[in-house]
Amino acid sequence: MNDIKTLANKTVVVLGGSAGIGLATAKAAATEGASVIIASSNQQRINSALEQLPQGSKGFAVDLSSEENIKNFFDKIGQFDHLVYTAGENLVVSDLDKIDLDKSRQFFNLRYWSALAAVKHGSAKINAGGSVTLTSGSGGFRPMKGWVIAASICTMMEGLTRALAVELAPLRVNCVMPGFVKTDLWGNIPEADREAMFKSAGESLPVKHVASPEEIAQTYLYLIKQTYSTGQCVVVDGGGVLA
């Protein structure tokens, strides 16, 4: 068995790293030998996450909706090797005639504009050979009813990834596009309805289950370590776009 720590002596920064896919990615990177720095808006979740990460991991409570806060964060931590952005708020679906445009703009703030701000201020701190991995979703490929806002954000993230890969070359910029994942982002849906949704979604997928955060985290790890991929948006959805 190969036990070489492939990310030894590397530092991985995960924005949105206190829960869900972000925390799973931080754990996976740490298992590969990386030093991990996580950030999210909630200090309590940061503290809980640090208890699950190796000693020496660092965590910061940062309001990622503020560009100034993002800039100050990167100024504080200094040089590093890989940036992962997974931050997002609870998902909301709505029929077109019920969409509140002012509230909907807030979803773009954290998922798109803050991701762009993170790359704007963080990319100059990334060491040679490093990478950026953003987060989108498979909703842009096959949106369901009520997914107008979610599908729009997903498609925007694809374009952003490709543009940044060109803009920042030779720094690699890629994006993970998960399908259904069991995370707290579905927490606004009542538990019984949520479990019924996961069960129904899992049965419809070729792989017959909804992903865990740990399964999705492996895709981030792949893009961090795959030194010949850039501008790529990798769908990991259990075959959802085929179902």
Q: Please state, in angstroms and as integers, the Cα–Cα distance from residue 210 to each residue in 27, 178, 182, 188, following that order.
A: 20, 11, 7, 18
Q: What are the strands of the beta sheet with 58-61, ordered from one edge? A: 58-61, 35-40, 11-15, 80-85, 126-135, 172-178, 233-236
Nearest Cα residue to 178 out of 239, 132, 221, 130: 239
State the virtual CA torsion across 110, 86, 174, 58 in degrees, nearest 10.
120
48 is a catalytic site residue: no
CB 210 within 8 Å of CB 240: no
Q: Please pick, among 18, 35, 131, 136, the residue that the annotation labels catalytic.
A: 136
What does the alpha-carbon distance between residue 86 and residue 118 come to, in Å, rounded to a whole number?
11
Residue with tokens 């990319």: 123
Provide the 10 A C-beta neighbour count for residue 61. 16
What three-state secondary structure class fits 54? coil
Q: Would you mind telling me the total number of residues written for the chain in this entry? A: 243
In one-letter notation, the amino acid at residue 129 is G
Active-site residue numbers?
A: 136
